[in-house]
Structure 1
Amino acid sequence: MNIIAVILVVLLSFLGSFSIANEMPQRGLDITIYNQDIALVRDLRTISLEKGRNIIKVTDVASKIDATSVHFKSLTDPARCRIIEQNFEYDLVSSDKLLSKYIDQEIRIITRDNNVYQGYLLSYDSRQIIIAHNKITGPIYMVDRENIRDIEFPQLPEGLITKPTLVWEVESQDKDEHLIELSYLTRGINWRADYVANLSKDEKTLSLNSWVTIDNRSGADYNFANVKLIAGEIRLEERDYVEALPKMAYMAEAQPQFEEKSFFEYHMYSLNRKTTIKNNQTKQISLFNVQNIPMEKRYVYDGKLYRSYYFDNWRGLDYNPKVSVYIRFKNSSDSGLGIPLPKGKVRVYKADEDETLQFIGEDSIDHTPKDERIELLIGTAFDIVGERKILEHKKITNNVYQDTYQITIRNHKDESIRVSIIEHQWGDWKILKSNYDYKKIDAYKIEFEVEIPKDGETSVLYTAEYRL
C-alpha cells in the first residue's frame, strides 16, 4: 500500500515574530568514530540570521542521535547569538500515524480495482479502514487494507515529519551571517580493524596487511568528511537513544592512509584525506602493510578437561587429544611493526604449491601496544595427538593427595617437532619428581617443553603432591 501526501504543509504557531532559516550551506564536516558503536559529529555551516528570534532547522542528521549531546554555537559572534530553546523532532510519518491524525477528517481511498471512496475517517485497524461519506446520513464504507492501492491526504499534519530534525530557537542581536558549529554523539556507526596475515613457505616470516572497516547504520550520510578513529575503550553510561559485517576472503595490499597519534589514554588514527561514508554502507580503508615479520609456530597441548580436583573419582576421566597450533610474533620496530594495533580479527593464509593463497585459520586480538607479543590460535594439528593419563592416585592424609601423571604426544609428521605441554595444579602443590624439566607459568600452571621425533612419541611422567 502506497501513501501519497499530495500537499506537504508544516504550520508553525508561535507568539511574536520569527524568521525561519532554511538554507545552511555546509562548510566542513568532521567525524570521530569509536569502536564502541558511537561517533562524535562536528558540522560547520553558514546561516543568515535576522535581528530578533529565528527558527533554525537541520534535517540531515543521524536518526540515532543522542539528543542530550547536541551542542550549537556561533563561531562568528557567540555573545550576540543566544540559544533560547532546542528540540529534536523524531515523530516520523507512517501510514498509521497519518491515519491517527486524520480521525474525523476527510481522506480519499483508491482501491486496486480502481474504486474511489472519499469521506471522513471514522476508525481503522490492521485489516480495515472505515470512512463515512457523510457523518450523519452515510453511507459508511469498510475498506479492506489489502485491497487499497493509494490513500490521499490533503496535507501533512502538524507534528509529523519526514526526517529526524533538529530545531533551535535562536535570538540574534543583529541581522548578520554566522558560521555555526553543530556537534552531537550518535549510535549506529562503528569501526574495527581487520587483518590479513600471509605466512611464508618456510613459516619463518609473515606479512601483515590491515584494513579499517567502518559500518554506518546511523541513519545519515557523512559527505566529504574528515575522519578520525579512536582505538581504546572509553567509559559510556547506558543511555536511551531515539531510535553483521561481511567476511573478507582476501584483501589486496594497499598503501597506508592513516596517521597514528597517542591521544589521552587511547590512540587516534586520522585519515589523510576526506571521504564519504554513506548510510547503510560498509567502507574499508587501508591502515598499514608490513612485510617479513619474524614469527614462530607453536604446538601446545593442554589435556585436562575437568575444572576441579577429582579427589577419589580419578578413574576414567576424559582428556583432550587435540594439540593446538599457534603463531606468535612481536609487535616491535625490529619486526617491522612497533605501532599500536587496534583490536580486530586476524585471518591467516598460506600459499599452496600452486601459489594460491589458502585460508588456514583466524583469531582475534585485543588492543595491543607496541613491543607486546601477539599469539594467534589458528587451529589444531591433524598429525599430532595427545594423551593424558592418571597412573596412580594416593590419599596420604585427609587433605593430602599424591598423583602420578603420564602425558604422551604422538607425532605422525615427517619432521621432528617441539610441543609445549600445559599442566594445571591444585591447592598447595609441589612436584615430587619428573622425567622432564618444567617451568612455572603462574600459581597453578606449569609447562613442559618436549621434543618429539618424526613418526615417534614422547611421554612426560611426573608425580605431584596436593594439600587441599
Structure 2
Amino acid sequence: MFISKGQDTKDLAITVYNQNFAVVKDQRSFDGYNQEHLVRFEDVSEKIETDSIIVDGLNIKELNYDHDLVNKEKLLKKYIGQEVQLFDSKTREKDIYRLLSVENGLVLEHLETGEIVLNPPEENLILPKLPNGLIIKPSLIWEVEPKDVDGVHVTYTTGGLRWKANYVIHLNGDTFDLTAWLLLHNESGTNFENVRLKLIAGDVNRVTEEDLIRLPDEPGVLYDVSPPIIEKSFSDFHLYTLQRKTTIKNQQEKQITLFEATGVPFKRYYRLENHENEADIMLKFYNSEDQNLGMPFPAGKVKVYSEDEADGSLELVGEDQINHQSINTDVELNLGKAFDINCDNRQIDRYKQGIYEYFEYQYEIRNNKGEVAPMNIAHHIRHRHWEMVESSHAYDKVRSDEIEFNVDVPANEEETINFKYRVDTSTTIKVR
C-alpha cells in the first residue's frame, strides 16, 4: 500500500462558505509511488463529505473513508485475551497479565498465579505496539488502476469550517471609521497548513441536512491584520481572496481584516414604528465609493462606539446584525431605544358615513434632548382601499398599506401630528 501524507502536499487551497462548509483542493506529489493497487490518502478532514470527492491523476475503482479513529476504549478492546504488563509503582517491577474485560473497569488475570486484579490504575497498564486495524488519523483508501503518476489533485467538500463578518464602527462627529473583520472557525478535526484561502459570501443552495456546530464558550481568537483581501463578484456571489498563505489549525478561531474605511458620512435619526412609544436610534449610511466605501458587506454583527469627550475613552453605543449588503445601497443600523424621546399615539376618532369609515390618529412626540431630533414615523394602515382626507404634515406612501412622516422635532419641544383617512367599506379587504 502506498501512503500519501499531508507533508507531501504541494499546494493546498480552501474556499470557505458562510454556511458551515468548505471546499478543499489538495494537490500532492506521489514520490515513491510504484503502481500499488491500494493508496492510503491521509490527513483529510474528519468531516469530509464522501460523496463530494473528485480525484484527478488516478483511476479510482473503489473508495473508502476510514475514520474510526483510535481511542482508549477501542485500543483496550483490541487487547482482550492478550498479554499486557502491569507496572507496580511500589516495587518498580512489571508483571505479565491477561486482559479479560474492559467493561465497567479493567479485569486482569496474572499469568503465573491466576490471581484476578480488578480496576488497576490505568496509567500503570503497559500495552504492546499498536495492533493492526486501528487508525490514528482520518484517511481515504483507494483501490486504483496502477499507472505511472507524479501526483494527484483531490477536491472535496467538508463540514466544520465556517466564517462570518464582524464590523466595528468608531463615530467621529458626522462621519465614522469602519473596520470589517472576518472570523474563521475550524472545527473540522484537521489542521490546514500553508493554505491559500478564499471566502464566499452568499447563500449557496445545498441538499444536505443542516450541520449544527456549537461555538466554543471561550474562543481563543487569533487576530491577523496584515494580509490584504481582494473582493470580486463570482457567479451570483461575492468572493474574497486572501493575498498570502495562512495556517488554520483545528479548533482555532482566526480573525483577519476584511477591509477598512475612514471618514464615512452618516445620518442619525429616530424611528417610531406603528403605535410604539419609544423611538429606535437609527444610523444610516450609503455604501458607495463616493462615500468612502463601495464594498459588499457580508452578513454579520456591527458594533458601534463613540468617544467620551471627558476622558477620550470609547464606549459602546449600539450593536446590530446586518444581512448581506451590496454596493450602492443604504445600510441602516438600529442602535437601541432613545432615552429622551417619547411618543404618545392614539386613535382619536372613528366613525362611519355612508360607504366610508373614517379613522383619525394623533402622534404627540416629545424631544427632551438638547438638539433637534430628526424623526421618521411609520404608520401601517390595515385596509387596502383607503385615501387620506387631511394631514397636518406631509407624508410619503411607502407601500400600499404604510405611510411615513419625516419631521424634525426642535430641542426640548413637542410636535403633534394629526391625520385622517377614510376606507371604502364597499370594497375593503383587510390586510393582515
Normalised by the length of structure 2, the TM-score is 0.87
**Offset of residue 178 of structure 1:** 0.7
Identity of aligned residues (%): 34
The size of the alignment, in residue pairs, is: 417
**Residues 299, 88 of structure 1: alpha-carbon distance in 2 compared, 3 angstrom cutoff:** same
CA distance in 1, matches of 2:266, 2:307: 16
**Offset of residue 262 of structure 1:** 1.3
Instruction: Name 2:145's counterpart in structure 1.
Output: 171
Question: CA-to-partner distance for each residue in 1:377-418, whole Å, 9 max, x for gaps?
Answer: 111111111112222343668x97533222111011112222
Instruction: Name 1:454's counterpart in structure 2.
Output: 411
Kept after mapping to 1: 8 A contact 2:4/2:42: no
Tell me which of 168, 185, 197 is aligned to 1:196.
168
CA distance in 2, matches of 1:439, 1:66: 52
CA distance in 2, matches of 1:349, 1:231: 26
Instruction: Name 2:102's counterpart in structure 1.
Output: 124
Instruction: Name 2:177's counterpart in structure 1.
Output: 207
Kept after mapping to 1: 8 A contact 2:3/2:41: no
Tell me which of 15, 20, 24 is aligned to 2:2.
20
Kept after mapping to 1: 8 A contact 2:171/2:177: yes
**Residues 394, 105 of structure 1: alpha-carbon distance in 2 compared, 3 angstrom cutoff:** farther
Instruction: Name 2:195's counterpart in structure 1.
Output: 225
Q: Give the residue type in structure 2 aligned to 1:20.
A: F
**Residues 254, 160 of structure 1: alpha-carbon distance in 2 compared, 3 angstrom cutoff:** closer
**Offset of residue 111 of structure 1:** 7.5
Question: CA-to-partner distance for each residue in 1:276-333, whole Å, 9 max, x for gaps?
Answer: 11111111222221111121111111243xxxxxxxxxxxxxxx32110111111112
Kept after mapping to 1: 8 A contact 2:349/2:359: yes
**Offset of residue 193 of structure 1:** 1.7
For the pair 1:159 / 2:159, whether they are aligned, the reply is no
Instruction: Name 1:182's counterpart in structure 2.
Output: 154
Q: Within 5 A, what are the aligned runs for 1:48-447?
A: 48=31, 50-74=33-57, 81-110=58-87, 118-126=96-104, 128-133=105-110, 138-143=114-119, 147-174=121-148, 178-201=150-173, 204-239=174-209, 244=215, 257-304=228-275, 320-353=276-309, 354-394=311-351, 401-428=357-384, 429-447=386-404
Q: Give the residue type in structure 1 aligned to 2:98.
A: Y
Question: CA-to-partner distance for each residue in 1:334-389, whole Å, 9 max, x for gaps?
Answer: 11222222121111111221332221111122111111110111111111111122
**Offset of residue 152 of structure 1:** 2.6
**Offset of residue 93 of structure 1:** 1.2
Kept after mapping to 2: 8 A contact 1:303/1:386: no
For the pair 1:464 / 2:397, whether they are aligned, the reply is no
**Offset of residue 159 of structure 1:** 2.3
Q: Secondary structure at the match of 1:370?
A: coil
Q: Secondary structure at the match of 2:241?
A: strand
Kept after mapping to 2: 8 A contact 1:422/1:447: yes
Instruction: Name 1:10's counterpart in structure 2.
Output: none
**Residues 22, 236 of structure 1: alpha-carbon distance in 2 compared, 3 angstrom cutoff:** closer
CA distance in 1, matches of 2:302, 2:312: 21
Q: Secondary structure at the match of 2:150?
A: strand
CA distance in 2, matches of 1:66, 1:261: 28
Question: CA-to-partner distance for each residue in 1:48-103, whole Å, 9 max, x for gaps?
Answer: 355543432233222111122222222xxxxxx43232221111112222233333
CA distance in 1, matches of 2:137, 2:295: 42
**Offset of residue 423 of structure 1:** 0.9
Q: Which moved more, 1:109-118 or 1:88-97?
A: 109-118
Kept after mapping to 2: 8 A contact 1:46/1:180: yes
Kept after mapping to 2: 8 A contact 1:194/1:213: yes
Q: Secondary structure at the match of 1:347?
A: strand
Q: Secondary structure at the match of 1:334?
A: helix
Q: Secondary structure at the match of 1:86?
A: strand
Unaligned runs of 5+ in 1: 1-18, 75-80, 305-319
Normalised by the length of structure 1, the TM-score is 0.81
What is the root-mean-square deviation of aligned Cα atoms in Å? Answer: 3.0
CA distance in 1, matches of 2:417, 2:53: 65
Question: CA-to-partner distance for each residue in 1:20-57, whole Å, 9 max, x for gaps?
Answer: 33566221111111111111111111113555434322
**Offset of residue 181 of structure 1:** 0.9
Q: Give the residue type in structure 2 aligned to 1:103.
A: I
Kept after mapping to 2: 8 A contact 1:194/1:345: yes
CA distance in 2, matches of 1:171, 1:69: 21
**Offset of residue 239 of structure 1:** 4.6
**Offset of residue 247 of structure 1:** 10
Q: Secondary structure at the match of 1:462?
A: strand
**Residues 461, 97 of structure 1: alpha-carbon distance in 2 compared, 3 angstrom cutoff:** same
CA distance in 2, matches of 1:220, 1:296: 46
